[in-house]
Amino acid sequence: MTDAADQIRPRRTYHHGDLRQTLLDAGIALARGGGPDAVVLREATRRAGVVPNAAYRHFASRHALLQAVRSAALAALAVAMEKELARWRDGGPSASMRAFGTAYLRFALTEPGLFRTAFSVPGDPEAGGSPAKAGRSGLNPFQLLGVALDRMVDGGMLPPERRPGAEYVAWSAVHGLAMLVLEGPLRRFTRVEARQIGQRVLDMVEKGL
């Protein structure tokens, strides 16, 4: 299990007054094992050991539970990115972008169920102000990517006039590779091969920006 996912590790006990978190923990466990389709409110209530009516006080529908699980998965991804950014802090202007891509692909490979769930429900990637989707810095994954690109501008690696919209260029390339490895024709790749091609994709993104 990855360090980033430790913050959403399901707990084994239920205490009165903490049912919402217990249900969320159950939903996270379901997502980790089977992706977004596995997040079913009735199964979460069964695992929590309560009747469905009790769960509806906290999650009115499956969609509400899925949204909460999705937010937790995005927060875990943000934490993974923050940790990788800290490791690459002294690596030069392009290190932040390299850290972003490395953490993103690693999370996809090690937590495929959570990764799929994180991007299973439509939402505005630029929307901020939701602590549920943020890492310890208070930033969500898309905002952390923006920090990496701003550092490239500050370091002279990215011309300021090419900065607008650069998030979408970088994100599309890295996310596309992740999905090809998870669900597409690159599923035959080993993790080592996926990491190697990932670094080449990051080289391409860095040069293309």
Give CA–CA dist 148/94, Å, rounded: 8
Structural domains in the chain (count): 1
Write out the E strands in 23-74: none
| pLDDT tens, residue order, the chain (209 aa) | 555 455 555 554 455 458 889 999 999 999 999 999 999 999 999 988 887 777 778 888 989 999 999 999 999 999 999 999 888 777 777 788 888 899 999 999 999 999 999 998 766 655 555 677 888 888 899 999 998 899 889 988 899 999 999 999 999 999 999 999 999 999 999 989 999 999 999 999 888 88
Q: Which structural domain range is residue 201 located in?
A: 4-208
Token pair 């990496």: residue: 148
Report the CATH number that the domain containing residue 71 is assigned in CATH.
1.10.357.10
Give CA–CA dist 18/37, Å, rounded: 25
Give CA–CA dist 7/74, Å, rounded: 12
Give CA–CA dist 46/104, Å, rounded: 32
